[in-house]
Amino acid sequence: MNPDGSLVKLENVHKWFGPNHVLRGIDLTIQAGNVVVIVGPSGSGKSTLLRTINLLEEPTEGRVLFDGEEITDIRTDVNKVRREIGIVFQSFNLFPHKSAKENVKLALEKVLRLSDGEAEERAMEQLSHVGLAQKGDAYPGQLSGGQQQRVAIARALAMKPKLMLFDEVTSALDPELVKEVLDTMKKLADEGMTMVVVTHEMGFAREVGTRLIFTDGGKIVEDGNPSEVFQNPKDERFKSFLSHVL
Amino acid sequence: MATAVAEPASRPDTRGPTAPLPLSLFAAGAAAIAIVILGTLGIQAYQVVNGGPVTPACEAEGIEARLLGAEGVCHIIEGIRSRAQTVVWLLGIVLGAGAAAGGWGLYKRMPSKRQREQCIAGAVLGVQAIALSALLLWFRSGEIAPFIRNFFNAEVLAGTIDGFLRGMLNTVKLAFAGEVGGIMIGLLLAVLAISQRRTVRAPALVYINFFRGTPLIWQLFFIYAIILFGFGIQIETFTAAVLVFSLNTGAYAAEVFRAGIQSIERGQVEAARSLGMTYTQAMRYAIVPQAVRRVIPPLMNEFVILIKDTALVIVLGLTAENYELYTFSREVYSEFSNGSAFVATAFGYLAITLPLIRIVNAVEHRLRSGLTGVVGAGG
Ligand SMILES: Nc1ncnc2c1ncn2[C@@H]1O[C@H](COP(=O)(O)OP(=O)(O)O)[C@@H](O)[C@H]1O
Ligand SMILES: [Mg+2]
């Protein structure tokens, strides 16, 4: 826990890609148990913001604190921090040469150094949790997009993270497969997991989110309780965004 | 999961019926090329079986009966110069021209796909028959006697089978050792070359560029000289050759590995790293196993190239028990003043390279035809 009792704290985070100023001073504090939904136009820096939280992107300026530690400090062991933060990507990023179960087991064995038996047990537990107990031996290429994404969620959850990040995890899915993934995430939220979710699914934001953030031009321009924010949006750009997606 | 619809036992043939005219055009083209090839070989076979003693014509051109293998050489020459051979080639040209003209002129008017294809095939085969016959006639118009004597003397080869086989074995040994060494050097170089740090990357890139940018024959010569005179190490030429082949192949293999690793989607490293794996672990468990499948075909291509490049060790001079194919043929040449072994050598190389080329093509095909090769079970 951070000094102020939060789990994640971003302080004045800036990110430049070459001449491109993508994050322009992000301040964000996330309490344990929250489900923070991030929406915003394409290219507004949502992914970059999410990825600075587990240092897949290193902020050009500013600090990131996670669970009482300044992880942007160069002396911090990022590999240790990342064990505690799960991330799920739009494109699944399962290891195609490993079965579903091996995908889940790999980091358990190589990072957490669990024995084969323990890893096996935990992998099967997590696959059952996402409803894929029978698909353990299937390779990613043999699974539907929705199933692959649920394996990816199981793979992240198996590390027993304190925080889960989701980056448009349903955007690459056929419409009929979206629900199974959203249901899995909802279940996770109900169990009390702290989550940061970048999504275009406004229904999910309203129903599951405890907080809604709208980014535009690398800044947070709207931030509040989802139902309130949806009912009377203040920022003009957010209003026009809502009129397009709703 | 999509299950492919079962293919019907035999696909319906939709190319339509044939007809006598296109069929005969096709037959004419096929006959023309067959006559040229089989006729020429047949005449030579006849000469081998029925050819007599050295003829006065051969004698007059310096193929004297007392010379080793004179009879066989004379048989070949007489066969090529025979009237039957002239008839065969002219027949090939006439038939081929008929098929080519007919097929070319008529294919557009054919009512079915099958008939059109038969016209085209007949025309193509006809052109091939004309080209081959014309080339052989042209060849015959030159000084064939000294050429045949120098390169097609079977008696010269008769006693060299052992040396030939040893040459093949040594060629494979040299190339294989060079390839194995090259793969190890290449792996190390690739790891350095993809580093984010310029200080780590730079020496690897200098190495790679140097070995890719200078001739292998120069490397063989110069590195051998450096080892021998510079470092003062007494080294066998065979060992030196393996070393230089390894160093050279290492540069090419490094590029292959680098391309293979960089062809793996960025998301794979990110997935591994965000599970807490170190860079090395991500490489070892996520990236390299996928890259390996993709580098097999280009590495095998490099191997085929190396097999042929082993011929360059001739500049170092090998000891007799280490002769590879090319050195072998040069030695036969020195002994008999006859180059027939050079011709045999080509078949030696082909016997090694053709199966490999077929394997590469099969592997490439497997990798390309969907994900099965990349994703498939195992691993
Ligand atoms: N690795 C990168 N290198 C260079 N530019 C990047 C990189 N990642 C993102 N960007 C740029 O940063 C901007 C924000 O990207 P991103 O965070 O992916 O936006 P969003 O997720 O909201 O669509 C875009 O202009 C994008 O092109
Ligand atoms: Mg994005």
Cβ contacts of residue A153 below 8 Å, gap of 6+?
A: A88, A130, A169, A181, A184, A185, A188
Q: Confirm or reject: Cβ of A43 under 6 Å from ligand 1.
A: yes
> Could A110 and B267 be called an inter-chain contact, meaning their C-beta atoms sit closer than 8 Å?
no
Residues B203 and B312 in one domain: yes
Taking 70 as the threshold, does the pLDDT of residue A192 lie above it?
yes
Domain shared by B108 and B235, yes or no: no
Are B172 and B86 in a shared domain? no
Identify whether residues B142 and B225 lie together within a single domain.
no
Residue B40 located in a structural domain: yes
- The values of phi and psi at residue B366, to 5°, are -65, -40
Q: CA-CA distance, B74 to B54, in Å (whole number)?
A: 6
| A-B contacts (CB, under 8 Å) | 75
Beta-carbon contacts of A137 under 8 Å, excluding residues fewer than 6 positions away, are A99, A100, A101
The identity of residue B179, as a single letter, is E
pLDDT level of residue B318 (50, 70, 90 thresholds) = confident
pLDDT tens for A53-93 read 999 999 999 999 999 899 999 999 999 999 999 999 999 99
Question: Closest chain B residue to A90 measured between Cα atoms?
Answer: B267
Residues B266-313 pLDDT 10s:
999 999 999 999 999 999 999 999 998 889 999 999 999 999 999 999
Q: Are residues B60 and B178 in the same domain?
A: no
- Token couple for B290: 């996928």
Q: Are strands A219-224 and A194-198 parallel, antiparallel or unpaired?
A: unpaired
E strand residue ranges, chain A? 8-17, 20-30, 35-39, 61-66, 69-70, 85-88, 163-167, 194-198, 211-216, 219-224
Q: Is B379's pLDDT higher than 90? A: no
The model's pLDDT over A88-129, given as tens digits with 9 standing for 90+, comes to 999 999 999 999 999 999 999 999 999 999 999 999 999 999
| Domain around B67 | 21-152
Instruction: Kindly state the average pLDDT of the residues B87-108.
Output: 95
Q: Which among A30, A49, A37, A33 is positioned nearest to A205, based on CA atoms?
A: A37
pLDDT of B376 strictly over 90? no
Evaluate whether residue B1 is within a structural domain.
no
Among B87, B118, B152, the domain boundary falls at B152
Question: Cα distance from A112 to chain B (closest Cα, Å)?
Answer: 9
pLDDT at B5 over 60: no
Do B291 and B263 form a contact (C-beta atoms < 8 A)? yes
Distance from the alpha carbon of residue A30 to the mean position of ligand 2, in angstroms: 20
CB A31 within 8 Å of CB A5: yes
Same domain assignment for residues B331 and B351? yes
Chain-wide mean pLDDT for chain B?
91
Picking from A55, A82, A83, A110 by the largest number of B CB atoms within 10 A of its own CB, the best residue to mutate is A110
Torsion of CA A51, A54, A57, A60, to 10 degrees: 110
Torsion angle (degrees, nearest 10) of CA B20, B22, B24, B25: 160
Express each pLDDT in B32-82 by its tens digit: 999 999 999 999 999 999 988 999 999 998 898 888 999 999 999 999 999
Over residues B225-282, the pLDDT tens digits come to 999 999 999 999 999 999 999 999 999 999 999 999 999 999 999 999 999 999 999 9
The predicted structure's pLDDT at residue A27: 96
CB A15 within 8 A of CB A22: yes
Last-in-domain residue among B112, B137, B152: B152
Closest of A201, A183, A209 to residue A246, by C-alpha = A201
**Do B323 and B232 belong to one domain?**
yes
Tell me, what CATH number does B253's domain have? 1.10.3720.10
The answer to whether residue B6 is domain-embedded is no
Residue B11 lies in a domain: no
Positive/negative CA dihedral, A122, A128, A129, A135: positive
Q: Same domain for B340 and B365?
A: yes
The response to whether residue A47 sits with its C-beta less than 6 Å from ligand 1 reads yes
In 3D space, the residue among A104, A94, A110, A146 whose CA is nearest the CA of residue A127 turns out to be A104
Indicate if B202 and B131 belong to the same structural domain: no
Q: Which of B152, B185, B218 is the C-terminal boundary of a domain?
A: B152
Q: State in Å: Cα A45 to ligand 1 middle.
A: 6
Which of A42, A46, A48, A167 should be mutated for ligand 1, with most atoms under 8 A from CB? A48
Q: Are residues B27 and B80 in the same domain?
A: yes
pLDDT class of B202 with cuts at 50, 70, 90: very high
Alpha helices in chain B (DSSP H): 20-50, 56-60, 70-81, 83-106, 113-140, 144-151, 154-158, 161-193, 198-213, 216-225, 237-262, 266-274, 279-281, 288-309, 325-336, 340-368, 372-375
Q: Mean pLDDT across chain A, nearest whole number? A: 94
Structural domain count, chain B: 2
The confidence score (pLDDT) of residue B6 equals: 54
**Cβ contacts of B277 on chain A, cutoff 8 Å:** 79, 107, 110-111
Cα dihedral across residues A86, A91, A92, A97: positive or negative? negative
B126 and B166, same domain (yes or no): no
